Structure 1
Amino acid sequence: GKGAAFVRTKMRNVVTGGVTETSFNPTAKFEQAFVERKEAEYSYQDGDLYYFMDPETYDTVPLNRDVLGDGFRFVKENTVCKLLSYKGSVFSVEVPNFMDLVVTETEPGLKGDTATNVTKPATVETGAEIKVPLFISTGDKINIDTRTGEYLSRSKD
């Protein structure tokens, strides 16, 4: 074609979440962005603020609800998460991929209803609602995938 070559790319701003499509000269140079991942323990919630404690310095970091993401609904107090920050500003929270939670409320399964893959709604100890198999009852401890919000199995302990 006519003219110089160019590279067209989509970029996501990790702090704001905005996506832009930009064209670059293939010889362009960019400074490398350093994203810091630091472990912190979720302590408590106060209104829209969620407080995390640094296990090394015991400093608390307050974060708004919009920073937490969808998987945070399965996190209970004293759970270790990873805080992702850029230039000292926390922009995201990585929660553990799997959580063991107790079912606090669910309907009893109907005896004789043995169709495959039949589920019912259940509320876990964090207040989140998920779909579980019919044999799960109130008080059972279950394993949940926090990325998809799906029931995986009963917990062994």
Structure 2
Amino acid sequence: MISAGDFKNGVTIEVDGNLCQIIEFQHVKPGKGAAFVRCKVRNVKTGGVIERTFRPSEKVPRAHIDRKDMQYLYQDGELCHFMDNETYEQIAVNTKDAEGSLKFVKENEMVKVLSHEGKVFGIEPPINVDLEITETEPGIKGDTAQGATKPAIVETGARVMVPLFIEQGEKIRIDTRTGEYMGRA
């Protein structure tokens, strides 16, 4: 159990029987009345965000999440296949559970598979990945307004906004949390 006064961003709790992750929280002490903690929590399974308030002394169950390093093998229709590199055991995860998490992950890369009570509910890709640009328009000389960007397609098929000087065939570093260009690899 964790008390609402000890909440931190990223902590996973159980709210109304649902597995939720705290996105942001704020301790509020109004001029009149008792203090409370206002939180935005994201339902881990559905992705929905709700706002809840708790008394600081209120206790909620802390959800234990298992994070296991596994190798992403391939996608086969509605299933994504992963392998544990220690036991060589393979698991298949529904693409809905990995939705959006694998758009920057190439085959044979390591990811963290998230599970709660034995049921896989999500995939955590590495924070930074290096990918090659497979398709982008050439930069036009003289078109160098500050901060100008253009769309590019990387080798996994994801679309990223990159600076005008980046050309097709170059490797770039991408932040998988935001999908933003970080620099050349």
TM-score by shorter chain over 0.5: yes
- Which one of 124, 149, 156 corresponds to residue 154 of structure 2? 124
**Residue 68 of structure 1: SS of its match in structure 2?**
coil
2:140 is paired with a residue whose SS is coil
Q: Give the AA of the match of 1:68.
A: A
Using the aligned pairs only, state the percent identity: 53
Residue in 1 aligned with 2:118? 88
RMSD between aligned residues: 2.5
Larger helix percent: 1
Counterpart pick for 2:131 among 101, 108, 117: 101
Separation in structure 2 between the aligned mates of residue 111 and residue 28 of structure 1, nearest angstrom: 61
Q: Distance in 1 between matches of 2:56 and 2:141?
A: 66
Structure 2 residue ranges without an equivalent (≥5) = 1-33
Q: Is 1:49 the equivalent of 2:79?
A: yes
Change (3 A) 1:103 1:35: same
Flag structure 1 segments of 5+ consecutive residues without an equivalent: none
Write the letter of the residue equivalent to 1:61.
Answer: I
1:67 aligns with 2:97: yes
Partner Cα separation in structure 1 for residue 54 and residue 136 of structure 2: 55
**Displacement, 1:114?**
1.6
Counterpart of 2:21 in structure 1 is none
Contact 1:143/1:151 (8 A) holds in 2: yes
Give TM-score scaled by structure 1 length: 0.82
Q: Deviations over 1:78-97 (max 9, x none)?
A: 11111111111001111111
CA displacement, residues 92-132 of structure 1 (integer Å, 9 cap, x when unaligned): 11111110000001111001112111111110000111111
**Aligned with residue 109 of structure 2, among 79, 82, 88:** 79
When residues 59 and 129 of structure 1 are mapped into structure 2, their CA distance, relative to the original with a 3 A threshold, is same
Instruction: Letter of the 1:58 partner, please give it.
Output: Y
- SS of match in other structure, 1:73: coil
Tell me the equivalent position of 1:14: 44
Q: How many residues align?
A: 151
Find the aligned partners of 1:119 and 1:87 in 2 and give their Cα distance.
44
Asked if the contact 2:83/2:91 (under 8 Å) is kept, the reply is yes
The answer on whether the counterparts of 1:71 and 1:149 sit within 8 Å (CA) in structure 2 is no
Instruction: Evaluate the alpha carbon distance shift between residue 22 and residue 55 of structure 1 in structure 2; reply closer, same or farther with a 3 A threshold.
Output: same
